[in-house]
Amino acid sequence: MNNDPNWQQNSTLISITRELIGEAEKFTIGMIVYATKFESPDTVGSNSVPIYDFQTSYAYIDDVACSDSMIVWIDIGHTYIGDLECWLGWKDEPSSTYIEYKFWDRQGGSDDDIVGYIRILNFQNIHDWRLRVRDCAAGDEGEIREFSIYIG
Domains and CATH numbers, the chain: 37-151 (2.60.120.260)
DSSP type of residue 112: -
| pTM assigned to the model | 0.70
pLDDT digits (tens, 9 = 90+) for 19-52: 777 666 655 555 554 444 444 444 434 568 899 9
The distance in angstroms from the start CA to the end CA of the chain is: 26
Residues in the chain with pLDDT values less than 70: 1-2, 22-47, 152
Residue 60 CA, distance from chain mean position: 9
